[in-house]
Amino acid sequence: MLYFRFPFSDEIFTTDDSSAQNAVSFVSFDGLNELNFKGEIKEVPRDTFLAQGNSMKTTASKLCVFRPETKKDYEQKINKVINFVKNENLSKLVISRRKLVSYEGSKPNFSKTFLNLCEAYPNAFVYFFTKNNQSWMGAFSEVLGSFNKKTLEFETMSLAGTTQIDETWTRKELAEQRHVTDYISNILKDYSVDVTKSETYDHPSGNIKHLRTDFKAKIKSQDLEKIIAELHPTPAVCGFPKKFCQQAIAKFEEHRRSFYAGYIKVETAETIQYFVNLRCAEFFQNVALIYVGGGITAESSSEKEWQETELKAEAILKNLSFF
Ligand SMILES: C=C(O[C@H]1C=CC=C(C(=O)O)[C@@H]1O)C(=O)O
């Protein structure tokens, strides 16, 4: 079962399993796992969606027994990561944690939570799926790629750096986002002679904002999958150099990222779109785990990095509804 909503739209969609064609695919951060929803993409009337709400439940077979990292644990780890970033002369390394939310005997109302997220995050791709003993929900607005099959126009964005909505940017966030911009520029120039890049501007996401730069390029359709494979994971979710940072993430993080910081591919007759899977949670029988991370640089403060993950977790936390 899958439901999703495109950014800036009111329509809710699902897939109908009517053919073997992949319509929506969830790709894990490490690229090793892919969960496919097949058939045609079909609109679901809002009334039908709400009526189905009662039967939407997590198919996770297991209870989650997991001790979440405390503020102290996380800050100690981030201090180690800051030293590592300095010693290895890294521009940035993205580290994440999982925040545990107990249902305390209640039952999550997935349809209401989904609609709350749609309302709170109009610019986000919002989804809920439950398949193969896994249930995930997410709402975020980072586009890894968007390809128009007719015009061959490819769009992507550099989205990084986080602060509260009414605060000003510091050197740390500006540098953090610039590294992502440079990384994307370097890849696109190998595939297109006419890459255009926007000014960098503020991108609101609920209670926080990010820095964003947009890219447009004409590409060959046969290069699309190669470009996506080169872009993912960008330094917005991993770090640079990519391979080295993937290994460092595996060393520092206590959990597998699974679909967090992976991407969601959605193919329609006109477009192929790839959304970065952040601000998301995995639902078990007894608890939800919210995945949140941030870019660590030599200028990071462990206390601020903890606060940033707490603020990011509010995307799901504040919209989570129970029966
Ligand atoms: C890795 C995450 O956010 C990325 C996207 C925007 C801002 C980010 C940051 O400021 O660190 C991250 O690069 C996350 O939300 O878990």
ipTM of the complex: 0.98
Atom of ligand 1 nearest to the CA of 173: 10
Examine residue 236 and state whether it is found in any structural domain, yes or no: yes
Examine residue 323 and state whether it is found in any structural domain, yes or no: no
Examine residue 233 and state whether it is found in any structural domain, yes or no: yes
Q: Using one digit for the tens of pLDDT, what is the confidence trace for 262-290?
A: 999 999 999 999 999 999 999 999 999 99
Residue identifier of the C-alpha nearest atom 5 of ligand 1: 160
How many angstroms is it from 43 CA to the middle of ligand 1? 31
Examine residue 322 and state whether it is found in any structural domain, yes or no: no
Q: How far apart are CA 257 and CA 291, in angstroms?
A: 8
Domain extent, residue 71, equals 2-317
CATH of the domain at 222: 3.60.120.10
The pTM (predicted TM-score) of the whole model is: 0.96
Q: Using one digit for the tens of pLDDT, what is the confidence trace for 292-314?
A: 999 999 999 999 999 999 999 99
How many angstroms is it from 312 CA to the middle of ligand 1? 8
Looking at the 3D structure of the chain, how many domains does it have? 1
Examine residue 238 and state whether it is found in any structural domain, yes or no: yes
Q: Please, are residues 14 and 42 in contact by the beta-carbon 8 Å criterion?
A: yes
Q: Using one digit for the tens of pLDDT, what is the confidence trace for 57-110?
A: 777 766 777 788 999 999 999 999 999 999 999 999 999 999 999 999 899 999
The set of protein residues with a Cβ atom below 6 angstroms from ligand 1 is 94, 96, 159-162, 210, 236-237, 278-279, 292-295, 312
Strand order in the sheet with 92-102: 41-44, 12-15, 2-5, 125-131, 134-140, 280-283, 287-296, 92-102, 239-240
pLDDT value of residue 55: 77
Residue identifier of the C-alpha nearest atom 14 of ligand 1: 293
Q: Using one digit for the tens of pLDDT, what is the confidence trace for 154-176?
A: 999 999 999 999 999 999 999 99
